[in-house]
Amino acid sequence: MKMTKRFLTGTAAIAAFAASMTAAQAETWRYAFEEAITDVQGVFATKFKEEVEANSDHEIQLFPYGTLGESADIMEQTQAGILQFVNQSPGFTGSLIPEAQVFFVPYLLPQNSEELNEFFRTSKAINEMFPELYAEQGLELLAMYPEGEVVMTTKEPVTGPSDLNEVKFRVMTNPLLVESYRAFGATPTPLPWGEVYGGLQTNIIQGQENPMFFVESTKMYEVTDHITFTGHNNFTTAIMANQQFFEGLSEEDQQMIQDAIDVAFEYILDYQQGLTEESLAKIKEEKPSMTVTRLSEEQRAPFMEAAEEVEAQFIEMTGDSGKAILDQMKADLEAVTAD
Ligand code: 6CS
Atom of ligand 1 nearest to the CA of 208: 1
Alpha helices in 56-166 (DSSP H): 71-79, 90-93, 113-122, 124, 130-135
Per-residue pLDDT at 329: 98
Q: Report d(CA 205, CA 218) in Å as an integer.
A: 16
Q: 3-class SS at 155?
A: coil
Per-residue pLDDT at 15: 53
Tell me if 211 CB under 6 Å of ligand 1: yes
* pLDDT 10s digits, 14-36: 555 455 444 448 999 999 999 99
Q: How many CA atoms lie within 13 A of 155 on its CB side?
A: 17
Per-residue pLDDT at 9: 54
- Hey, what amino acid is at 112? N
Spatial CB neighbours of 228, under 8 Å, sequence gap ≥ 6: 151, 152, 153, 154, 157, 158, 159, 293, 294, 295
Mean pLDDT of 181-203: 98
Measured in Å, residue 12 CA sits from the centre of ligand 1 at 53
Atom of ligand 1 nearest to the CA of 192: 3
Contact present, 215 and 144 (Cβ < 8 Å): no
Which burial class, exposed, middle or buried, applies to 9 when counting CB atoms under 10 A from its CB (0-12, 13-18, 19+)?
Answer: exposed
Q: What is the pLDDT confidence band of residue 110, given thresholds at 50, 70 and 90?
A: very high
Contact present, 234 and 217 (Cβ < 8 Å): no
Q: What is the dihedral of CA 65, 68, 74, 79, to 10 degrees?
A: -160
Q: Looking at ligand 1, which residue's alpha carbon is closest to its atom 9?
A: 34
* pLDDT 10s digits, 268-281: 999 999 999 999 99
Tell me if 208 CB under 6 Å of ligand 1: no
Contact present, 158 and 228 (Cβ < 8 Å): yes
Superfamily per CATH, domain 2-147+234-275: Bacterial extracellular solute-binding protein, family 7 (3.40.190.170)
Nearest to 203 by CA among 166, 161, 162: 166
Per-residue pLDDT at 223: 98
* pLDDT 10s digits, 212-230: 999 999 999 999 999 999 9
* pLDDT 10s digits, 130-156: 999 999 999 999 999 999 999 999 999
Residues 134, 139, 141: CA angle, nearest 5 degrees: 65
Measured in Å, residue 299 CA sits from the centre of ligand 1 at 26
Contact present, 306 and 106 (Cβ < 8 Å): yes
Per-residue pLDDT at 10: 56
Q: Looking at ligand 1, which residue's alpha carbon is closest to its atom 2?
A: 193
Tell me if 172 CB under 6 Å of ligand 1: yes
Q: Does 67 score more than 90 pLDDT? A: yes
Q: What is the pLDDT confidence band of residue 108, given thresholds at 50, 70 and 90?
A: very high
DSSP E strand stretches across the chain: 28-32, 59-63, 85-88, 139-154, 168-171, 187-190, 207-211, 226-229, 234-242, 291-294
Q: Report d(CA 145, CA 129) in Å as an integer.
A: 15
Q: Report d(CA 238, CA 253) in Å as an integer.
A: 20
Per-residue pLDDT at 273: 97
The strand pair at 28-32 and 234-242 is best described as: unpaired
Tell me if 34 CB under 6 Å of ligand 1: yes
Nearest to 279 by CA among 237, 229, 333, 204: 229
The strand pair at 139-154 and 226-229 is best described as: antiparallel
Nearest to 109 by CA among 239, 265, 231: 231
pTM, to two decimals: 0.93
Tell me if 214 CB under 6 Å of ligand 1: yes
Q: Report d(CA 186, CA 167) in Å as an integer.
A: 5
Rounded to 10 deg, the angle between the 113-122 and 297-336 helix axes is 40
Per-residue pLDDT at 338: 74
Mean pLDDT of 188-212: 98
Measured in Å, residue 339 CA sits from the centre of ligand 1 at 33
Domain boundaries, the chain: 2-147+234-275, 151-232+288-337
Question: Which residues share a beta bridge with 76?
Answer: none
Tell me if 216 CB under 6 Å of ligand 1: no
Phi, psi at 68, each rounded to 5°: -125, 10
Contact present, 74 and 41 (Cβ < 8 Å): no
Tell me if 147 CB under 6 Å of ligand 1: yes
Tell me if 210 CB under 6 Å of ligand 1: yes
Atom of ligand 1 nearest to the CA of 34: 9
Tell me if 193 CB under 6 Å of ligand 1: yes
Tell me if 235 CB under 6 Å of ligand 1: yes
Mean pLDDT of 291-303: 98
Q: 3-class SS at 289?
A: coil
> Which class would CATH give 151-232+288-337?
alpha beta
